[in-house]
A and B are shown apart, each in its own frame.
Chain A
Amino acid sequence: GAVVSQHPSRVICKSGTSVKIECRSLDFQATTMFWYRQFPKQSLMLMATSNEGSKATYEQGVEKDKFLINHASLTLSTLTVTSAHPEDSSFYICSARDVGAGGTEAFFGQGTRLTVV
């Protein structure tokens, strides 16, 4: 299947700083990417849908000014956690649709473990 690369896999940052997480589709073009958040021992919660060349669509309850999403190209979406606080510590996972292959399936990155200290 198609490969989605997420970077970094782990990051520790100080409270109040910003962190950027990258999600790349390596061998396909992705007009749509999705960002999920997973708290320990819980399920994945969709945060936002990232659309290439347009604004992201955020799910209810997700602060768009805190979680900035940029999808500037067909192979890259970034999630920036601004002014991070310890409660933002979580596992963040992205996924991307391979529109060229019909787009029926999304492929997932390996996730980013964010720890805010």
Chain B
Amino acid sequence: AQSVTQLDSQVPVFEEAPVELRCNYSSSVSVYLFWYVQYPNQGLQLLLKYLSGSTLVKGINGFEAEFNKSQTSFHLRKPSVHISDTAEYFCAVSDLASGTYKYIFGTGTRLKVLA
């Protein structure tokens, strides 16, 4: 079964510094990959997605992620974070082989941006 690992449960970073949130998934022939952000007591907002094509994906709010098939990774990056980026970030995988398109989520990474 597909699984998603977000190794860092919390990432503190100073404002305007770069950040990388890591995501690894278990191997599959083909997958769709997503990053979502969740603010307290709210639903999920899509940051970016990889479906096919270029392995470097750009999303909203200055975030980008790179799909690395050999390392089964999809790390999220931002060159300069803001206080407003403080939130919970979830990596998700949709396993095409299952045919259901259901999402498997990682455990989340809490990004805390410090002033």
Contacts and interface: CB of A to CB of B under 8 A. Distances in A.
Interface of A: 1, 6, 32, 34, 36, 41-46, 49, 57, 91, 93, 95, 97, 103-106, 108-111, 113
Which are the 8 A-B pairs with shortest beta-carbon distances?
Answer: A110-B43, A111-B43, A108-B44, A43-B107, A44-B105, A43-B105, A43-B108, A108-B43
Given A44-B90, A110-B42, A104 B102 contact: no
Nearest to B44: A108
Interface string B40-75: 011110100101000000000000000000000000
Interface SS of chain A: strand
Contacts of A97: 101
Contacts of A49: 100, 102
B94 A106 contact: yes
B23 to A, nearest CB: 12
A111 B38 CA distance: 11
A34 B106 CA distance: 17
A103 B102 CA distance: 11
Contacts of A104: 32, 51, 94, 101
B8 to A, nearest CB: 13
Contacts of B51: 104-105
A110 B44 CA distance: 7
B41 A113 contact: yes
Given A44-B90, A104-B32, A93 B44 contact: yes
A44 B89 CA distance: 12
Contacts of B43: 6, 93, 108-111
